[in-house]
Structure 1
Amino acid sequence: MNIPEIVSDLKKRSEKKDTPIRNVYFIACGGSLAGIYAGKYLLERESKIFNVELYNASEFLLTTPKAFDENCLCICSTLKGTPEVEEAIRFCKEKGAYTIAICGEGNEETTKYADYVIRFESIGEVTTPMMKTNVTLSLWVSFELLKQFEDYAYYDEAMKAFDVLEDLAERIRKYVNNGRTEEFAKKHRKEDVIYVMGGAPAMGVAYATSICSLMEIQWIHSPTVNSAEFFHGPFETLDKNLPMVHLISDGRSREEDLRCQRFMEKFGEKITVIDAKELGIDILGDNVKEYFNHVLLDCAWREYLTALAIERKHPKETRRYMWKMKY
């Protein structure tokens, strides 16, 4: 089944029951959790009927919400079969909830308990097609839920945006690799700490940039700062020696990002700005472009990460503990 068929079947099944779906839980760990934030953000902002939550798989199991029951939809994501996610989707299925697995190839333990399976490829590979990442696929699922359950007015505009993503991604790569990524890598190759800031639609990609790209892959300490929270504590750490990657989104929250940027330009020096507007997000349509910030910003950031890894002579595949031992 493709995504429209999956949601159509889900709707038919739910209509046969007296109690409709009212809770949608996005469940994953690490990079996959950050990736499906895009779908969560869209559905949470646009839906009038669904209560939407995002959970780390372990926390979902340990602190299961009282509202969880057989009428919930659980969207679980893992690339390689994360044990915590496998356990979570098994738990959801055994409780009778509807389950969608957005996962990589294989993952028998994940797919065994899924009503529906959507395959994705690693966003860490710059050659992965834009429509094959869990970020984009989680968005598509949410747009489809909005369309089929609520007759979302801007569905066609969203589908047109998906159609041009691949071409836009290629343009983004060329844009940032025209000296920008190389300059960033040379300036930051010896840094021990790099903050990452983003907010609203960019919060997921900001979190992934911190915990996956910088902490996991490059072993660089990296707090994530929400733009809307910057002036409520974190700005006190800003000085001319603090490196900051600032992911500026385009949409309703843009002014909050720009307010932070104006302050950082005044008191900081090591500020790297990646702005969705400069990346060309305007071509995606005014009514839906906000929800594609994560896709574009992540596409750009991956090029910065690749350049940084090369400059630091720290390959992206290098790990101390992950995949090497039980933990």
Structure 2
Amino acid sequence: MVEFDEAAFLRDGQKAYGCRQRIEEVADEVTKKGYNKIVLTGIGGTTFEMMSVEDIIRRYSNVPVVNLNAAEGMIDKPSYINERTLVVTGSKSGDTKETVEICRWCKEQGATVVVFTGKADCPLAETASELILCDAPGMENTYLKFYLFALCLLYRRGDFPSYPKFAEQMAVLHKNITSWKKQFEDKAHELSVKYAQEPYQIWVGSGILWGEINMFTMCILEEMQWMRTRAVTSSMFFHGTLELVDKDVLVYLVKGEDQYRPLDERAEAFLKKYTDKLVVIDTADYKLDGIDDEFRIILSPIMFNSITRGRLAYHFEKQTGHDLEFRRYYRQFAY
């Protein structure tokens, strides 16, 4: 497999899962302290990751939840943030300017700020009321940590009684992820050979996968491969973007398994008629082993991430010769 060290990946997975005890301790602490709303915040990829966390919280609970763009938050300074607010964020670098600023401001308003990061001595860690340190790299691990925390919170509220079973079964998550990656490997190679040089592509999807679709198209294809992309929801596709489709336009349709799947299927039916370059990615094709199917929707963003960011991106890199680590603007100078 291209750019995949299975042993290292499984070790990192164990490291991420090993944060479970600390995650549950923090969930218990903030529950005892009390809160009446949850604010998820960050910028860039973190905002997209938080979209599925927000979906999960709304899916199982009626606790108010907001996904706050950190840069916009520092302009708006929302009045709903106060001493009864639980703020949750994460950052790989620990020094993302907008995220540090919003968390510092939220703490000044009396909010409880929970920070996930891999570095104890970073600016973001200094803003934390509760710090969860875990340096396991990879977005699959980021999702696992966020999901354990969010669902433990809901369990403590009485909204997600399946949490103990979910948390125990996450011990085999990375074995499942490895299987999904291997299943998609040949397809990733095929797609990269056929489409790495396409001048334009559209990505269509919905529901809990929508944040991850945005993550892949903006943070990976645009930022890391300089590919021109358009992400649009399956419902909004029919209100403008469909006019860009012809037989030579590349469209990726991502089919999820939540309540919005009929919208994906409607888009699929249209696209089968009007483009010769339709690629369908369906999370239903990827099986769970040792994990109950009741958790499929929750885990579907990890499924999608594992085969796109985890496989397709590396195959694109090989075909384009464009290093995934190279940037000409992002974090290269002040702007």
User: Does the TM-score normalized on the shorter chain lie above 0.5?
Assistant: yes
* Structure 2 residue identity aligned to 1:101: V
Q: CA deviation at 1:44?
A: 1.8
Q: Distance in 2 between matches of 1:154 and 1:117?
A: 25
Per-residue deviation, residues 236-289 of structure 1 (Å, max 9, x unmatched)? 222112112222211222222122112211211222222111122587434332
Q: Residue 216 of structure 2 aligns with which residue?
A: 209
Per-residue deviation, residues 141-166 of structure 1 (Å, max 9, x unmatched)? 11011100224232234224423311
Confirm or deny: 8 A CA contact 2:207 2:258 kept in the other structure: no
Q: Distance in 2 between matches of 1:120 and 1:229?
A: 38
Q: Residue 45 of structure 1 aligns with which residue?
A: 59
Q: Distance in 2 between matches of 1:196 and 1:248?
A: 11
Q: Residue 159 of structure 1 aligns with which residue?
A: 167
Confirm or deny: 8 A CA contact 1:196 1:209 kept in the other structure: no
Q: Distance in 2 between matches of 1:72 and 1:232?
A: 37
Alignment: residue pair count: 312
Q: Residue 261 of structure 1 aligns with which residue?
A: 268
TM-score normalized with structure 1 length: 0.90
Confirm or deny: 8 A CA contact 2:119 2:125 kept in the other structure: no
Label 1:212 to 1:167 Cα distance change in 2 as closer, same or farther (>3 A): same
Query: Given the alignment of the two structures, is residue 143 of structure 1 paired with residue 156 of structure 2, yes or no?
Result: no
From 54, 58, 70, the equivalent of 2:67 is: 54
* Structure 2 residue identity aligned to 1:47: S
Q: Residue 43 of structure 2 aligns with which residue?
A: 29
Confirm or deny: 8 A CA contact 2:42 2:89 kept in the other structure: yes
Q: Distance in 1 between matches of 2:201 and 2:138?
A: 21
The secondary structure found in structure 1 opposite 2:294 is coil
Query: Given the alignment of the two structures, is residue 237 of structure 1 paired with residue 253 of structure 2, yes or no?
Result: no
Per-residue deviation, residues 288-315 of structure 1 (Å, max 9, x unmatched)? 3211111110001020111001100001
Q: Distance in 1 between matches of 2:69 and 2:137?
A: 19
The secondary structure found in structure 2 opposite 1:325 is coil
Q: Residue 326 of structure 1 aligns with which residue?
A: 334
Label 1:45 to 1:282 Cα distance change in 2 as closer, same or farther (>3 A): farther
Taking every aligned residue pair, what percent have the same amino acid on both sides? 22
Confirm or deny: 8 A CA contact 2:40 2:67 kept in the other structure: yes
Q: Distance in 2 between matches of 1:200 and 1:23?
A: 22
Q: CA RMSD in A?
A: 1.8
From 252, 256, 272, the equivalent of 1:249 is: 256
The secondary structure found in structure 1 opposite 2:161 is coil
Query: Given the alignment of the two structures, is residue 74 of structure 1 paired with residue 81 of structure 2, yes or no?
Result: no
Q: Which runs of 5+ in 2 are unaligned?
A: 1-20
Query: Given the alignment of the two structures, is residue 224 of structure 1 paired with residue 231 of structure 2, yes or no?
Result: yes
Confirm or deny: 8 A CA contact 1:190 1:312 kept in the other structure: yes
From 103, 113, 138, the equivalent of 1:89 is: 103
Per-residue deviation, residues 123-182 of structure 1 (Å, max 9, x unmatched)? 26xxxxx4xx222211111101110022423223422442331111111111111x2111
Q: Distance in 2 between matches of 1:249 and 1:22?
A: 31
Q: Residue 17 of structure 1 aligns with which residue?
A: none
Per-residue deviation, residues 63-117 of structure 1 (Å, max 9, x unmatched)? 2333221110111121112111011111111111011112232552111110122
